[in-house]
């Protein structure tokens, strides 16, 4: 039976939008979480048309939708994602000859650089990592998860989905399956290696139940099932609270910190792009704005004419 992707709302998406999401899932391998976000975005867009068919939408309708979203308080990044979803739909409808043209083709993307990513300072990262010193399986799990998030720049879902056969200690790399099922190789350092080894040797065996429910996952919950991204989120939030770090941070903050600190150390932007698994260099370039801000602060503090 054909699986349909629909918006998380009371009203199902029109057939054209649902067909487009099915195409993204089947033909493009777009991840379920991304599909759900696009479905929600398209549901809002469809509602903004006031009952008119998507096929009759014009450029003014798309612009008005974005204006309305801004008036509702949506930030530039959210509005940009909404536009990506709408653009993709109209581009597909035109390619499939369901509409004569693409009304969203010439609409500019809202500025994404108004809000820089939140990141932790190296000192805050050290404080976060130094908290765990126990030898219980739960302690070893928490330490390994945090070291992997920061040491490899993984998303929460990628960390939770890491497989034990995807870690190569002899080469100090992990094989990560990211968005769209794309695989990349990311190196890790000594502290991350030590934390993973401690978990694999002294923590993970005590969570394995022997019934196969672990499915080869690197990180397990106490009952033996693979760790979920919600668990990863809770681990990070708990450690941030205990460390007294008041920033509005999450697992993604450690990913931002990973990228930002690499650039501070002189890493090439394209290398950082590869390790983050970004399809486009423009996505990674947001971190250069963080670097520019830091350089400006140093100049103002230390330059005679700063």
In the DSSP assignment, the letter for residue 208 is: -
Q: How many residues does the chain have?
A: 306
Q: How far from the centroid of its chain's Cα atoms is residue 237's Cα?
A: 16
Q: Which residues contact 86 (CB under 8 A, 6 or more apart)?
A: 41, 42, 45, 62, 65, 104
Both tokens of residue 191? Answer: 């502290």
Give the Cα separation of 139 and 155 in Å (integer). 21
Helices (H), the chain: 15-28, 32-48, 59-71, 76-95, 122-129, 137-152, 156-160, 190-198, 229-243, 251-264, 269-276, 281-284, 286-302
Q: Is 55 a catalytic residue?
A: no
Catalytic residue among 204, 255, 256, 261, which? 255
Q: How far from the centroid of its chain's Cα atoms is residue 224's Cα?
A: 26
Q: Is 299 a catalytic residue?
A: no
pLDDT at residue 215, as a whole number: 87
Q: Is 91 a catalytic residue?
A: no
Catalytic residue among 87, 179, 184, 213, which? 179
pLDDT at residue 4, as a whole number: 46
Q: Which residues contact 267 (CB under 8 A, 6 or more apart)?
A: none
Give the Cα separation of 302 and 306 in Å (integer). 7
List, for the chain, all residue ranges whose pLDDT scores fall below the cut of 70: 1-11, 108-116, 133, 295, 298-299, 302-306
Count Cβ neighbours within 10 Å for each residue of 152-163 and write b for 16 or more, e otherwise.
bbbbbbbbbbbb
Catalytic residue among 82, 155, 204, 261, which? 155
Both tokens of residue 55? Answer: 């096929």
Q: Is 278 a catalytic residue?
A: yes
| Radius of gyration (C-alpha) of the chain in whole angstroms | 22
Give the Cα separation of 177 and 161 in Å (integer). 8
pLDDT at residue 198, as a whole number: 95
Count Cβ neighbours within 10 Å for each residue of 113-143 and write b for 16 or more, e otherwise.
eeeebebbeeebbebbbebbeeeebebbbbb
Structural domains in the chain, CATH included, are 15-95 (1.10.150), 122-300 (1.10.443.10)
Catalytic residue among 91, 184, 252, 289, which? 252
The Cα angle at residue 229 between residues 226 and 233, in degrees rounded to 5:
130
pLDDT tens-digit map of 63-99: 889 888 888 888 877 888 899 999 999 999 999 999 9
Q: How far from the centroid of its chain's Cα atoms is residue 4's Cα?
A: 24
In the DSSP assignment, the letter for residue 114 is: T
pLDDT at residue 225, as a whole number: 92
pTM recorded for the entire structure: 0.64
pLDDT at residue 302, as a whole number: 67
List the one residue out of 202, 199, 211, 163 whose CA is nearest residue 183: 163
pLDDT at residue 182, as a whole number: 87
pLDDT at residue 137, as a whole number: 94
Both tokens of residue 175? Answer: 């094989």
pLDDT at residue 285, as a whole number: 77
In the DSSP assignment, the letter for residue 47 is: H
pLDDT at residue 104, as a whole number: 87
Q: Is 209 a catalytic residue?
A: no
pLDDT at residue 235, as a whole number: 94
Give the Cα separation of 129 and 39 in Å (integer). 38
Indicate the SS3 state at residue 206.
Answer: helix
Give the Cα separation of 35 and 210 in Å (integer). 34
pLDDT at residue 3, as a whole number: 45
pLDDT at residue 28, as a whole number: 87
Q: Is 287 a catalytic residue?
A: yes
pLDDT tens-digit map of 193-240: 999 999 999 999 999 988 888 889 999 999 899 999 899 999 999 999
């Amino acid at each position: 039976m054909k699986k349909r992707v629909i918006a998380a709302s009371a009203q199902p998406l029109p057939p054209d939008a649902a067909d487009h999401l099915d195409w993204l899932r089947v033909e493009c391998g777009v991840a379920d979480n991304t599909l759900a976000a696009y479905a929600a975005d398209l549901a809002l867009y469809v509602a903004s048309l006031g009952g008119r068919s998507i096929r009759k939408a014009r450029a003014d309708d798309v612009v008005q939708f974005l204006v309305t979203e801004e008036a509702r308080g949506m930030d530039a990044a959210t509005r940009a994602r909404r536009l990506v979803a709408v653009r993709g739909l109209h581009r597909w409808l035109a390619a499939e000859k369901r509409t004569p043209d693409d009304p969203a083709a010439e609409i500019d993307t809202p500025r994404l650089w108004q809000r820089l990513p939140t990141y932790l300072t190296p000192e805050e990262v050290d404080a976060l990592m130094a908290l765990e010193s126990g030898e219980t399986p739960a302690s070893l799990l928490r330490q390994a998860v945090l070291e992997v998030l920061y040491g490899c720049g993984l998303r929460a879902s990628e960390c939770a989905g890491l497989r034990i056969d995807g870690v190569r200690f002899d080469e100090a790399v992990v094989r990560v399956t990211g968005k769209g099922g794309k695989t990349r190789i990311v190196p890790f350092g000594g502290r991350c290696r030590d934390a993973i080894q401690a978990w694999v040797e002294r923590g993970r065996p005590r969570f394995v139940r022997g019934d196969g429910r672990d499915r080869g996952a690197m990180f397990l919950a106490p009952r033996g099932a693979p760790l979920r991204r919600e668990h990863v989120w809770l681990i990070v939030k708990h450690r941030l609270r205990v460390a007294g770090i008041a920033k509005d941070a999450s697992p993604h903050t450690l990913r931002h910190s990973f990228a930002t600190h690499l650039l501070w150390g002189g890493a090439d932007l394209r290398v950082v792009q590869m390790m983050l698994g970004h399809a486009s260099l423009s996505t990674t370039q947001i971190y250069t704005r963080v670097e520019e801000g830091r350089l400006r602060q140093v100049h103002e503090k230390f330059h005679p004419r700063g």
